[in-house]
Chains A and B, each alone.
Chain A
Amino acid sequence: MNLDHFGMDTITLAGTLEGKLRAVRDAGFTQIMFSARDIVGHPDGEAAAVAAVRDSGLRVTGFQVLRDFEGLSGHLHAYKVDVAKAMLGMCRALGSELLLVCSSTLTHGSGDRELLVRDLRKLSMLAVPLGIRIAYEALSWGKHVNEYPQAWDLVERADRANLGLALDSFHALATGTELGGLEEVDPGRIFLVQLADFMWQEIRSPEERLNTARHFRVFPGEGVHGAEVAALVRRLDEMGYRGDYSFEVFNDDYVQLPLPIVARRARQSVKWLTDQVSRRSVPIRRATRR
């Protein structure tokens, strides 16, 4: 595991797209995760944003985020399919091979597993001609799917090659979901791992969860759940996961600090994590990949 396996996310940084690309590259990272607003909010238009990303030489970790897609019916479903198509189109234009999809938070959405599976399959099929993989993530305040084992259950049932799981350490920590559930997960079907910690021990309500998630995340090694984050990465490494780790750090302080300072903290976090993982994983025999 080395620096090339880790990337930053534009949501952690303030300023222009070009500034973010420069800061991330200057810090030594080779990949970066984008949000749709990096593209649509660019003052010179979408094509200029795409060109800036291409010119940066950075690899695109993925593109986020399609929200509240699954479990809808009638005109709501049709509306979301249109949104999904537009997101897939942007994802493709950006050169991203991965679209992050968060579990639905809508009270209007059904929790019927068959319906959810049907919608995930549909999204996967829409993504095939564009060469995009769908990474489905359990948002910890999702209405029906809020823990990764539930998301994995749907991914496994949907059974489409370009549909996989996105794991976010923040959500698993926030809901106190055990890592034991990973035993059920095929490491080849984990498409993305997002890492973040936070500063307090416990989150008491869904509202506090949302608030913490959006404003108070920190890089692994900076929060109070470092051991758990490191344990998660170690576990994934032992399972045979060889995909990307992206720092999904929403932090109100970081978006008002100079970019090089924040990028340096991300870089320190990589070092901290790889130290933690390599130090303790040496004596443990690697699980063979299925």
Chain B
Amino acid sequence: MTVLEHEPANPLGMDGIEFIEYATSQPQALGTVLQTMGFMPVARHRSREVMLYRQGGMNLIVNAHPDALPGLVAPTSTPELKAVALRVRDAAYAWRRAQELGAWEMPTRASAMELNIPGIHGAADTLIYFVDRYTDFSIYDVDFVPLPGVAPRPPALAGLHYFGVVQTIGPDRTADWVDFYRTLLDFSVLPSGQYFGILPKGTLLESPCHKFYLQLIEPPPGSEDIVWTEGLLRIGLGAPDVLAATRALKSRGVVFVDRGPVQTSEKGALTQVYLGGVTFELVVSHLQP
């Protein structure tokens, strides 16, 4: 492929994940889990019950505000992944373009003196935000107050970084969602058979910036009796050395699944389920944190 063909492949100037957001009515419980995973609380929202956690280059928001996300129901006690914020060159442009191509606009939730982060609807009731202030000035400078006496930039454990997000989808819905991410956000499908980590299933999509992945998973065969809803299932964390990362995390109390086909290896690892629905997947990563 020539350079010219590469150029328009990232028209939004996408540049990785700015933050990932959970909603929960029990933010302390999730905070405890996050801290064992190496995320440290660094700032609190000025007007809402929202905390910013950070680890290396990863920002993670825990939203416990009763109307956590616009137009949606109050968060439940089981934390749910509710939003992914994408770094783009021009957030307003990205937002307009996505809508012109058929995205649902997200109602604004900014209060006075708060930044309005434009977003669109993703799977189920999740949101995709566009953020363009992430270099010299960040969105957190406006909306968040730093926690006193806390290092604002805690280092990453074992080089952990965002690798991707796993999305559950309905039966026979892969093609629909592939079209969605290709059309609206310029993702591309990795050739079938190309997987990372230890959970090789579904369809992998690569971001146009080549900095993270989406994994789409249809219900597995024989799962007709289980409730399988569309939504964001879990975060994938990249590690240059998975075994070193699992050692570091185990020493902090993180438990990894070790049964059947899911075994920690140098390719990846999967944590146990926390709080009724939170898991983290580790993936050996070639990405630069």
Contacts and interface: CB of A to CB of B under 8 A. Distances in A.
> Which one of B104, B170, B177 has the highest number of Cβ atoms from chain A below 10 Å of its Cβ?
B104
A216 B176 CA distance: 38
Given A131-B230, A161-B178, A162-B176, A125 B184 contact: yes
A161 B179 contact: yes
A122 interface: yes
Contact of B177 (A121, A122, A128): A128
A45 interface: no
B41 interface: no
A121 B182 CA distance: 12
Most B Cβ at <10 Å: residue of A125, A160, A162? A125
Interface residues of A, number: 13
A125 B183 contact: yes
Given A131-B173, A162-B179, A126 B104 contact: yes
A239 interface: no
B180 A128 contact: yes
Interface stretch (B116-124, B204-212, B274-282): B116-124
A180 to B, nearest CB: 28
Interface in A68-86: 85
A131 B176 CA distance: 8
B101 A128 contact: no
A69 to B, nearest CB: 12
B248 interface: no
Interface in B219-278: 230
Contact of B122 (A121, A129, A162): A129
Interface string B90-114: 0000000000111110000000000
Interface string B157-190: 0000000000000100101111110011000000
B104 A124 contact: no
A121 B101 contact: yes
Contact of B179 (A85, A123, A128, A131): A128
B230 to A, nearest CB: 7
Interface in A127-149: 128-129, 131
A131 B170 contact: yes
Nearest to A122: B102
A124 B124 CA distance: 16
A124 B178 CA distance: 12
Contact of A85 (B101, B104, B184): B104
A128 B100 contact: no
A131 B184 CA distance: 16
A74 to B, nearest CB: 13
Interface of A: 85, 121-126, 128-129, 131, 160-162
Given A125-B184, A128-B102, A161-B175, 18 more contacts: A85-B104, A121-B102, A122-B100, A122-B101, A124-B179, A125-B102, A125-B183, A126-B104, A129-B121, A129-B123, A129-B124, A131-B170, A131-B173, A131-B230, A160-B179, A160-B183, A161-B176, A161-B179
Interface of B: 100-104, 121-124, 170, 173, 175-180, 183-184, 230
28 contacts: A85-B104, A121-B101, A121-B102, A122-B100, A122-B101, A123-B102, A124-B179, A125-B101, A125-B103, A125-B179, A125-B180, A128-B102, A128-B176, A128-B177, A128-B180, A129-B104, A129-B121, A129-B122, A129-B123, A129-B124, A129-B180, A131-B173, A131-B176, A131-B230, A161-B175, A161-B176, A161-B178, A162-B176
